[in-house]
Structure 1
Amino acid sequence: MFTPELQEKAKKIKLLLLDADGILTDGRIYYGDYGDEIKSFDVRDGLGLSLWAEAGRKSCILTAKKSSILKKRAKEIRVSKVYHNSHRKIRSYEIIKKKFHLKDEEICYMGDDLIDIGVLKKVGLAITVPQAPQEVKVCVDYITQHNGGRGAVREVVELILKTQGLWEALISKFYE
C-alpha cells in the first residue's frame, strides 16, 4: 500500500515507463535450439497494462536489448511504444518525456538494475522489485511486493489507478 506521500506522487502519474528484463519478465533469458530467444510474461501484468491503456494512460518500454518477442507482447497488451537498444536510458527518457509533453513528476519508472538508476533518480515515482540490487533499492520510492515477471507491474498499475480513483470503474465490467 502506498503511504500518503506516495499517493500524492501517484496522483500525478500519466505515463508508466518500464524496463523489460527483470520487470516485465523474471530477468532470465532462455534460448531455443535454433538460437531463438524465449521469454516468459505474466498475464496479470498484461491485463494491468491493458486496463492502464483503457484508463487513457500511456505506457512505454525502455530496454537495452532488441527483442521481437517483446515487441509482439507490447502490442498485445496495448503498450504505446517500445524503445529498443536504449543503452543510455537517460537519453531515451528525455526523448520520451519530450514526445509525450510530460514533466518528470508525471512519469513513473519501474527499473531493476544499475542501468536504470539515472532514470529512477529523475522521475516523479521511482519503483523497483524485490530482487533488485541494493544500489537500485536506495534510489526508489517504492519496492513492490511481487517479483519482476510475477505481477509487479500489475501491482503498480492497481496502486496508481486506485489512488487516481479510476480502478473500480475499470474493473466493474468483470462483475457483469
Structure 2
Amino acid sequence: MLPDALRERAARVKLLALDVDGVLTDGRLHYGPEGEATKVFDVKDGLGLRLLRDEGIAIAIVSAKRSTMLERRLADLKISDACLGREDKRVALDEVRARANASLDEVCFVGDDVLDLPVLRVVGLAATPADGHALVRREVPWVLQACGGRGAVREVCDALLEARGRLEAAVETLLATR
C-alpha cells in the first residue's frame, strides 16, 4: 500500500527501475543436478509491468548480475532497457534514466539490499520489498507489503497507476485487447 505522503511522488514517475534478485525474484538460487541455476519469477509482476508499459511508463532493469534466464524473462516481458552485470548501479541508473528522459525525481527504484542504497538514496521514489534487508527497510520511505518475487513489483505497478488515477482504466484497456 502506497503511503498517502508518497502519492504525489508516485504520480510523477516516468521510469520504474528494478533490481532483479530479491525484487523480481525471491533472491534464492536453485541448482539442478547439472549445476545449472534457476530463478523463479512471479507472473503477476509481469502483468503489472505490462500495464505500466501500456500506460507509457518506462521500465528498466539495473542488476549487478547477468544470466541467460534473466535475459529470457526480460525478452518475454518485452523489457529492452537493461543494464546487466553492472557493479556500479548508480552509473547504470543514470544511463537508463537518460534513455527514458527522466530526472532523478521522476524515477521509482525498487531494491532489496545494501548494494542498492546508492540508487535508493537519490531517486524520487524509493521502495523495498517486505523482506528487503533491515538497513534498506530502515532507510527507504516505502516498504512494500509483498516480498520480492512474490508480488512486490505488481504492488508497485498498481500503486503507480493508482496514483495517476489510471489503474482501473489500464486494466479495462488490457481486457478489451484480449
TM-score bracket for the superposition, by shorter chain length: over 0.9
Provide the C-alpha distance between the structure 1 equivalents of 2:175 and 2:62, rounded to a whole number of angstroms: 31
Matched, 1:147 2:147: yes
Does the Cα contact within 8 Å between 2:24 and 2:42 map onto a contact in 1? Answer: yes
Provide the C-alpha distance between the structure 2 equivalents of 1:40 and 1:70, rounded to a whole number of angstroms: 10
TM-score relative to the length of structure 1: 0.94
Provide the C-alpha distance between the structure 2 equivalents of 1:38 and 1:27, rounded to a whole number of angstroms: 11
Does the Cα contact within 8 Å between 2:15 and 2:97 map onto a contact in 1? Answer: no
What SS does the aligned partner of 1:154 have? helix
Provide the C-alpha distance between the structure 1 equivalents of 2:123 and 2:153, rounded to a whole number of angstroms: 17
What SS does the aligned partner of 2:165 have? coil
> Which structure 2 residue ranges, 5 or more long, are not aligned?
none
Deviation at 1:39, TM superposition (A): 0.8
User: Which position in structure 2 is the counterpart of 1:174?
Assistant: 175
Deviation at 1:22, TM superposition (A): 0.2
Matched residues, number: 176
Matches within 5 A, 1:1-176: 1-172=1-172, 173-174=174-175
TM-score relative to the length of structure 2: 0.93
> Which structure 1 residue ranges, 5 or more long, are not aligned?
none
Provide the C-alpha distance between the structure 1 equivalents of 2:147 and 2:3, rounded to a whole number of angstroms: 20
Provide the C-alpha distance between the structure 2 equivalents of 1:119 and 1:88, rounded to a whole number of angstroms: 9
Provide the C-alpha distance between the structure 1 equivalents of 2:112 and 2:91, rounded to a whole number of angstroms: 18
What SS does the aligned partner of 1:56 have? coil
Q: Aligned Cα RMSD in Å? A: 1.5
In the alignment, residue 175 of structure 2 is paired with which amino acid? F
Provide the C-alpha distance between the structure 2 equivalents of 1:32 and 1:79, rounded to a whole number of angstroms: 27
